[in-house]
Amino acid sequence: MKTTRKEPQQLALSFAAAWHRLERRLSNSLSAVRGISLAEYRLLRTLAEAHDMQASRVDLAYAMGVTPSGVTRALRPLEKLGMVTTVKSERDARLAIATLTPAGREVVDDASMVVDDSMTSLLKSSTLSADGVRKTIEMLDRLAR
């Protein structure tokens, strides 16, 4: 399939516009129900999926595609709210391990339902079939690598 010069640019702009709308919609829903942003939900969910619900800041950054300093800044308010604890490694003072608390696990579970409800509503208004949704997820996962 041959593409015109403008199609890749339009694809990039369409992805950006769709992400912006989705991020705003999900952040608004999550904020209203659990008081967290989509970025905070992603961080908490990444921790929830980690072995023993804990990970280093570097590992979290890699998994989320952000910088370690970005993770550090994002963890601070979550620590103050009791959703996450952070401890320094006994072997390496530079290494800090973040752990999801039971309160954080509860927030992830509640927030996951909010995301599910929002996405179900969004997908009902789209023309995508269940197979189309699966194929879109596969394509986006490939692009994200």
Asked if 46 and 55 count as a contact pair (C-beta separation under 8 A), the reply is: yes
Question: Counting beta carbons within 10 angstroms of the beta carbon of residue 86, is it exposed (0 to 12), middle (13 to 18) or buried (19 or more)?
Answer: middle
Dihedral sign for Cα atoms in the order 15, 17, 19, 25: negative
pLDDT at 98: 96
CA–CA distance, 64 with 75 (Å, rounded to integer): 13
pLDDT at 96: 87
- Phi-psi category of residue 72: left, alpha or beta, with phi > 0 → left and psi -120 to 50 → alpha: alpha
- Token reading at 51: 């072995």
pLDDT at 94: 77
pLDDT at 3: 63
pLDDT at 2: 65
CA–CA distance, 106 with 71 (Å, rounded to integer): 21
The DSSP letter of residue 20 is: H
| Total-model pTM | 0.85
- Token reading at 122: 């969004």
Asked if 64 and 46 count as a contact pair (C-beta separation under 8 A), the reply is: yes
Question: Counting beta carbons within 10 angstroms of the beta carbon of residue 74, is it exposed (0 to 12), middle (13 to 18) or buried (19 or more)?
Answer: buried
CATH for 11-144, options being 3.40.50.150, 3.40.50.2000, 3.40.50.11890, 1.10.10.10:
1.10.10.10
Please report, for the chain, the start and end positions of each structural domain, with discontinuous segments joined by +: 11-144
pLDDT at 88: 86
pLDDT at 1: 58
For residues 63, 67, 71 and 73, what is the CA-based torsion angle, rounded to 10 degrees?
A: -170
Tens-binned pLDDT, residue by residue, of the chain (145 aa): 566 778 889 989 999 999 999 999 999 999 998 899 999 999 999 999 999 999 999 999 999 989 999 999 999 999 999 999 999 877 877 788 999 999 999 999 999 999 999 999 988 888 888 899 999 999 988 988 7
- Helix (H, G, I), strand (E, B), or coil: what is residue 1? coil
